[in-house]
Amino acid sequence: MILIDGKKAAAELREKLKQEVFELKTKYNKVPGLTVILIGDLTPSQIYVRNKEKSANEVGLKSEVIRYPDSVEEEKVLDKIEELNKDDTVSGILVQLPLPKHIDKQKVIEAIYPSKDVDGFHPMNVGNLSSGYESSIPCTPLGCYLLIKKIEPNLSGKKAVVVGRSNLNGKPMTQLLLKENCTVTITHSKTKDLKAECSKADIIVAAVGIPELVKGDWVKKDTIVIDVGINKTEKGIVGDVAFDEVSKVAKALTPVPGGVGPMTIACLLKNTIECFKRSLK
C-alpha cells in the first residue's frame, strides 16, 4: 500500500511555488499578494490563518491579515473587500469561514471579485469550473486532485466515487474528476447503499465529517482512497476512512493528519499565484 505523504507533497509544491514567485519578482518587479480577513476569535480559524500567513511568507508572497472583532458590521467587511478588490497589490482575497451569524456568507463571497477569489467559492468560479473553463478551484479538492494525479497520472475512464456533496469539497471534486474523464458517482447522506457504490470505485474521495465511515470491505484492492475528513474523537483526530482496515486493502491512502490537510494551504498559495498571473494578462 502506498501511504500518500501529503506533508511531503505540500513541501515540494511550496518549493516550486517559491521558485515561481522568485521568477515573477525578477520579471515584473512585484510579487503576488494574499489578504486574509479574519473575523472573531474562534481558535481553529486563528490557527488556520496563522498557518496560511506563515506559508505565504515562506514562499515569498506579500501577505496581510485583517482582523475584526465578532461584532463587526457586515457593511464594514463589504467595504473593506471593495477596497481590496481595487488594490493592485492584492492578488487574492480570502475571508476565513465560518462567519458570525449576523454576516451573510453568500453576500461576502459574492463581494470578492472572481479574479481575486482564491477560495474558488464565487458563483462565477463555480460555474467556470463546471463548464471546464479557467477558474480558481477550491483549495481542498485541488489538493486531493494533485495527490491522486501523483499516484495515477492518467485518470481517463476510471470509476470515481465522491462521498459528500458540499460546495466546499464534494461538488468541486466531482468537477475535477469529470474534467479528467473519470466516470464519477457523487454520493451523500441520502444515498441508499454507500458500500455498494464505493465497492465499484477505482478512486474514492471521502469528504463527509463522519469518523471512519468508509470501511475496509468497501474498497477494492487497487483503489486510491483520499480522506478529507478531520474529526475530533476520543482517540484523537481521525478521518472519514477507517485507516487500519482500508490500509490493508487499498492501493494508496492518505493519512489523517498528514494527508490532504497540508495540501490545502499549499493550494491556496498556488491559487494566489494563479490569480496574479491572470491579472498580468
- Active-site residues, by number, are 52, 96, 119
Q: Which is nearer to ligand NAD, 9 or 72 (CB)?
A: 9
Query: 92, 250, 261, 273: which one contacts ligand NAD (CB under 6 A)?
Result: 261
Nearer to ligand NAD, 60 or 262 (CB): 262
Instruction: Judge whether 204 and 161 are in contact, CB under 8 Å.
Output: yes
Minimum distance, C-beta of residue 257 to ligand NAD, in the bound complex (Å): 8
Alpha helix positions (H), the chain: 6-28, 43-58, 74-85, 105-111, 123-131, 139-151, 170-179, 194-199, 243-246, 260-280
What's the closest the beta carbon of residue 35 comes to ligand NAD, in angstroms?
20
The yes or no reply on residue 13 touching ligand NAD (CB under 6 A) is: no
Binding test (CB under 6 A) with ligand NAD, winner from 56, 109, 214, 228? 228
Q: How far is CA 109 from CA 23, 70, 106, 116, 147, in A?
A: 31, 18, 5, 11, 27
Q: Which residues contact 125 (CB under 8 A, 6 or more apart)?
A: 114, 117, 135, 136, 137
Helix, strand, or coil here: 133?
Answer: coil
Give the burial class of 221: count Cβ atoms within 10 A of its Cβ; 0-12 exposed, 13-18 middle, 19 or more buried.
Answer: exposed
Does position 219 bind ligand NAD by CB under 6 A? no
Of residues 164 through 183, those in contact with ligand NAD by CB under 6 A are: 164-166, 168-170
Locate 196 and state its grid cell. 455498494
User: Per rule CB under 6 A, is residue 163 in the interface with ligand NAD?
Assistant: yes
Considering the complex, state which of residue 114 and residue 259 has its C-beta at the smaller distance from ligand NAD: 259
**According to the binding rule CB under 6 A, does residue 191 interact with ligand NAD?**
yes
Q: Are 195 and 152 in contact (CB under 8 A)?
A: no
Tell me if 189 contacts ligand NAD by CB under 6 A: yes
Q: According to the binding rule CB under 6 A, does residue 266 interact with ligand NAD?
A: no
Q: Which residues here bind ligand NAD, judged by CB under 6 A?
A: 140, 163-166, 168-170, 187-189, 191, 194, 207-210, 228-231, 260-261, 264
